[in-house]
Structure 1
Amino acid sequence: MQSGIHHITGITRKIQANVDFYAGFLGLKLVKRTAGFEDADQLHLFYGDAAASPGSLVTFLAWEDGSPGRVGLGQPAEIAFAIRPEAIGFWLTRALTKNVAMSGPTQEFGEPVLRLKDPDGIIVKLVGETGVEGPAPHVTKEITAADAIQRIRGATIFSEKPAETAAFIGSHFGFRSVAEANGIKRLAGDAGDILDIRDASGFWTSAPGTGTIDHIALRAPDRAAVEAAAERLAAEEAGDVNMHDRTYFYSLYVREPGGSLVEYATDGPGMAIDETLETLGTTLFVPKHFGAAPEDVRARLPQFSLPGEERMTERDLPFIHRVHRPETPDGTAVVLLHGTGGNETSLLPFGARLAPGAVLLSPRGRSADEGYPRFFRRITATTFDQKDIAGEAEAFAAFMEGANTAYGLDPAKTLFVGYSNGANMIGAVMLLHPGIIRNAVLLRGMNVLENAPAADLSGVNVLVVSGQSDPYGRFAGDLEALLRASGATVESTLLAAGHDIGTADLELAKAYKERIIG
């Protein structure tokens, strides 16, 4: 039975920082970028050696601005890469000069080890392995083949059942026990990859989230081996076993007795089936089983720059937000405010179709309604927390002032598009903070201010789009009248629609932007 590590998958909160560390600092090659196989709105990046060899791959799911997880029982806890022992000095110096958190070198099972922390806090070990020879180490301007990461050395698993965990991995995936010390049982595969099973009895349980390792994938020679393993696991009633065709490999997932998720993945067909070795990692792959339009998926995924590429740094502003830059900017911008239950990605496809050449800025509401993001709290379906509206409108005004400077937005060429609660927020900001918003499209909006102040909205352009069968549509007239009375130029359209928005809304918004901004 062939045995070894195929890849290790973690979860990151900020994809740009992740790319800067793994591709920039560590010098790994970005070999594949995909939309998630379980969630098309989740970016999944694969790093590896120059040939994307199985056994060199570390992958990350992007939970952009997601909640941190907790490392604990039933979870992998460390990633180890193999380097040549004489390269330890190079990496020690590199960590010091690049201000990367580091400790060591120390000795672990007779090997020199440098411990680093990636931007999410995941422990990354560089292990000096005697005689290591990677199949295709990636060379950069700063890292030679002699100093480069050669391949994955191994990983650590926290288990309160270390003996059972070790026996399970040994019997089903071909690893064997080779050493034991300091509460760690070391297993090795045929290629020399190691799994350290740490006795973590009494430790707290893990919690999924950013800054954690989701799973370890072990190597299978082919699909037949995966299917045979699935039969063995089912016969032993080892728990739920799921098999999937991941395009680049075929695999199963199962939890070992200590609770950690283990994948068993085939070496083939490999990462280069839809790209050449030279172009690896340059094309976004969108799994076809979602039936999603690739351009919509692409708009929702976070953008990033590789080392040496021109980049846009996301600024720390009062609202969590997403910025999407088009390939060919036309000097305009669209700010998108989601409705209840949405988030900063919900309207990005709408914005990309509305204005393909515009910079898109989409914030996440900071209030919550039964756990769903909103821009301000509601008391009933048609009454709202006035203090929350005032406070969030003030914060949003500050957000836009900062965003205009940070991202080079021209207020005169910026269109604000809001849906439902987002449209209501735009209306409130216009009245409470005149001058922030000059052009707006309000989809299914209503007035939420009980005592709207006098405001000078001369020069402000607003399109209000209501739904004929929208239960809240009867309130749109009050908002239109209030904006007109304040001096705004207001156009209104009633669609044969309900509260949801669709193609008709998109076409109206697109034509309106072309007419008032260009």
Structure 2
Amino acid sequence: MSSGIHHITAITRKIQANVDFYVGFLGLRLVKRTAGFEDADQLHLVYGDASGAPGTLITFLAWEDGSQGRVGLGQAAEIALSIRPEAIGFWLTRALSHNIQMSGPAQEFGEPVLRLKDPDGIIIKLVGEAELEVQDPWPARDIPAGDAIQRIRGATIFSEKPAETADFITRHFGFRPVAEAGGVRRLASDVADVLDIRDAGGFWTAAPGTGTIDHVALRAADQAAVERTAAALAAEAEGDVNMHDRTYFYSLYVREPGGALIEYATDGPGMTVDEPQETLGSKLFVPAHFRADPEEVRVRLPQFSLPGEERMTERDLPFIHRVHRPENADGTALVLLHGTGGNETSLLPFGARVAPNAMLVSLRGRSTDEGYPRFFRRLTMTSFDQKEIVTEAEALAAFIEEANAAYGLDPAKTAFLGYSNGANMLGAALQLHPGLIRNAVLLRAMNVLEGAPKVDLAGTNVLMVTGQSDPYGAYAAEIEKRLAGAGASVENRLLPSGHDIGLADVELARQFMEKVVR
């Protein structure tokens, strides 16, 4: 193993568009899908060549609906990929036909370069590298092997201390200065990977977020090399150094003098340590330290489809939401509304246990109370913002009607399940928009609507589950009385529990679904 680039990690906002660009347009292989090592609810995708070799890997952390970052000082700003010089024309035509934003070709350090922008705005440079041998590209159906992307060529780092940045990387990571032009110092490795250090003095500081590159990982021979470098960095007081076992490699993290995050990662054990090369990218890996059920993690992560696979695009509807469609979908659906402090992923594992073959549609409340998402604000422990309840119930009704059309939901085969604040929202919506919700599970619910509209809820099925020691349990009788008085079929089950929900709630909700949703 020689020095070079191991992988580059960036942040994406919309995972399906990201997959479509890197697999569908660029022709890379999805070689790994994992839960994040720091956060199991964060999807992390790895793209590369056919074998997932170090030096070809581009990885993305998914921050769905996350804030846009800002490219600036102390950050890598461009990803360069190697192609044969003769392939520039192919990619120019391909970018035009796919409506990809681009500029060039232009000459940089004597090589033709075509700049593209991915869906998040990250700049991808296709560099025509002389005497490049065709290695192990993933066989994309519409990209000839001779035109395919071969590997990572390099990255551009913005620094207000370019000399110090270049010296740091040269001393510790096996790169050497090879050229300088136009305010850029070029460093090269033994395998001709390059790092371009751009003098960006006076530019604004980078801000983390979607559409930015998180870090560049450089290649280490083995764990011993990583540990030697860590010791050298500590001896020279080069800043905080963190070392981690990332299953597929062992690495350290450190910031170079200009502020950019650098990782130093071993080639081994590699991407095939937990699945064979033939099926790379098909299995979800969940780091062992979470001690989590992979299926529960899977249902919380955003879904996506590879090119050619059946897909369902999440629509722009009144509520931020997450859709999970199981492999053995049976045509039923379960719409989930979280409690205070939850979000659109909180109830997904619960919903998957209740109805494993149902499409799950999980909403995030649009209100905020003491920093937590809710479906409407609380004024005191037992009084609520009545105007907001009405307007958010209207928004929920609009969401339901649009979701029925967008996702093909059959109202007769759809149930709604809410917990705490989400259950209270459903109880209000049942009264304010009769007939819209036919089947509802209200977990730890109370009545929050002060007015008592006269409605007809005949044909509506409701399961209430109340905790015997729930401090709000005494308020459940009012919503039961209202719904039953309006003609709904209401069953209120009392459990020996508090406000929390658990397996007993799952079982009652499952039985309800089997009885009323067919």
Into which bin does the TM-score normalised by the smaller protein fall?
A: over 0.9
Residues 326, 359 of structure 2: 8 Å contact kept: yes
Q: Which residue in the other structure is 1:362 paired with?
A: 362
Structure 1 residue ranges, 4+ long, deviating more than 6 angstroms after superposition: none
Structure 1: segments with no counterpart, 5+ residues? none
SS at match of 2:30: strand
Q: Does 1:46 align with 2:46?
A: yes
Q: Which residue in the other structure is 1:392 paired with?
A: 392
Equivalent runs, 1:327-342 vs 2, <5 Å: 327-342=327-342
Q: Distance in 2 between matches of 1:380 and 1:204?
A: 45
User: What's the TM-score, normalizing by structure 2?
Assistant: 0.98
Equivalenced residue count is 518
SS at match of 1:88: helix
Deviation of 1:370 after TM superposition, in Å, equals: 2.7
Amino acid at match of 2:373: P
Q: Which residue in the other structure is 1:248 paired with?
A: 248
| CA shift digits 1:63-101 (9 cap, x unpaired) | 122222121221111111111111000000000001111
Deviation of 1:230 after TM superposition, in Å, equals: 1.0
Equivalent runs, 1:95-134 vs 2, <5 Å: 95-134=95-134
Q: Distance in 1 between matches of 2:32 and 2:350?
A: 26
Q: Which residue in the other structure is 2:193 paired with?
A: 193
Q: Which residue in the other structure is 2:430 paired with?
A: 430
Q: Distance in 2 between matches of 1:370 and 1:71?
A: 32
Q: Which residue in the other structure is 1:297 paired with?
A: 297
Q: Does 1:221 align with 2:229?
A: no
Q: Which residue in the other structure is 1:65 paired with?
A: 65
Amino acid at match of 1:444: R
Q: Which residue in the other structure is 1:83 paired with?
A: 83
Deviation of 1:367 after TM superposition, in Å, equals: 1.3
Deviation of 1:501 after TM superposition, in Å, equals: 1.0
Q: Distance in 2 between matches of 1:69 and 1:425?
A: 34
Q: Which residue in the other structure is 1:509 paired with?
A: 509
SS at match of 1:477: helix
Q: Which residue in the other structure is 2:260 paired with?
A: 260
Amino acid at match of 2:338: H
Q: Distance in 2 between matches of 1:244 and 1:100?
A: 37
Amino acid at match of 1:464: M
State which drifts further: 195-204 or 98-107: 195-204
Q: Which residue in the other structure is 1:499 paired with?
A: 499
Q: Distance in 2 between matches of 1:250 and 1:110?
A: 36
Amino acid at match of 1:186: R
Residues 53, 135 of structure 1: 8 Å contact kept: no
Q: Distance in 2 between matches of 1:98 and 1:364?
A: 34
Amino acid at match of 1:110: G
| CA shift digits 1:312-333 (9 cap, x unpaired) | 1211211111111111111111
Quickly say closer, same or farther: Cα 1:143–1:54, change in 2 above 3 A.
Answer: same
Deviation of 1:134 after TM superposition, in Å, equals: 4.8
Deviation of 1:371 after TM superposition, in Å, equals: 2.6
Equivalent runs, 1:274-423 vs 2, <5 Å: 274-423=274-423
Q: Distance in 2 between matches of 1:455 and 1:217?
A: 62
Q: Which residue in the other structure is 2:452 paired with?
A: 452
Q: Distance in 1 between matches of 2:187 and 2:472?
A: 63
Q: Distance in 1 between matches of 2:155 and 2:181?
A: 16
Residues 223, 250 of structure 1: 8 Å contact kept: yes
Q: Which residue in the other structure is 1:170 paired with?
A: 170
Q: Distance in 2 between matches of 1:87 and 1:312?
A: 34
Q: Distance in 2 between matches of 1:443 and 1:339?
A: 10
Q: Distance in 2 between matches of 1:216 and 1:154?
A: 9
SS at match of 2:78: strand
Amino acid at match of 2:387: K
SS at match of 1:500: coil
Amino acid at match of 1:318: P
| CA shift digits 1:480-518 (9 cap, x unpaired) | 111112211111112121211111111111111112224
Amino acid at match of 1:207: A
Q: Distance in 2 between matches of 1:382 and 1:3?
A: 64
Deviation of 1:428 after TM superposition, in Å, equals: 1.3
Q: Distance in 2 between matches of 1:134 and 1:90?
A: 16
Residues 106, 112 of structure 1: 8 Å contact kept: yes
Quickly say closer, same or farther: Cα 1:371–1:108, change in 2 above 3 A.
Answer: farther
- Alignment RMSD, CA only? 1.2
SS at match of 2:277: coil
| CA shift digits 1:174-230 (9 cap, x unpaired) | 111111222211111111111111122222222211111111110001111011111
Q: Distance in 2 between matches of 1:134 and 1:39?
A: 37
Q: Distance in 2 between matches of 1:452 and 1:83?
A: 69
SS at match of 2:157: strand
Q: Distance in 1 between matches of 2:9 and 2:452?
A: 51
Residues 134, 146 of structure 2: 8 Å contact kept: no
Q: Distance in 2 between matches of 1:174 and 1:308?
A: 41
Q: Does 1:12 align with 2:8?
A: no
Amino acid at match of 1:123: I
State which drifts further: 157-166 or 358-367: 157-166
Residues 179, 186 of structure 2: 8 Å contact kept: yes
Equivalent runs, 1:477-492 vs 2, <5 Å: 477-492=477-492
SS at match of 2:55: coil
Residues 467, 498 of structure 1: 8 Å contact kept: yes
Deviation of 1:52 after TM superposition, in Å, equals: 0.9
Amino acid at match of 1:146: G
Q: Which residue in the other structure is 1:22 paired with?
A: 22
State which drifts further: 289-298 or 378-387: 378-387
Deviation of 1:166 after TM superposition, in Å, equals: 1.2
Residues 134, 151 of structure 1: 8 Å contact kept: no
Q: Distance in 2 between matches of 1:269 and 1:341?
A: 40
Percent identity over the alignment is: 75
Quickly say closer, same or farther: Cα 1:109–1:447, change in 2 above 3 A.
Answer: same
SS at match of 1:278: helix
Residues 467, 494 of structure 1: 8 Å contact kept: yes
Q: Distance in 2 between matches of 1:74 and 1:134?
A: 34
State which drifts further: 464-473 or 138-147: 464-473
Deviation of 1:133 after TM superposition, in Å, equals: 2.3
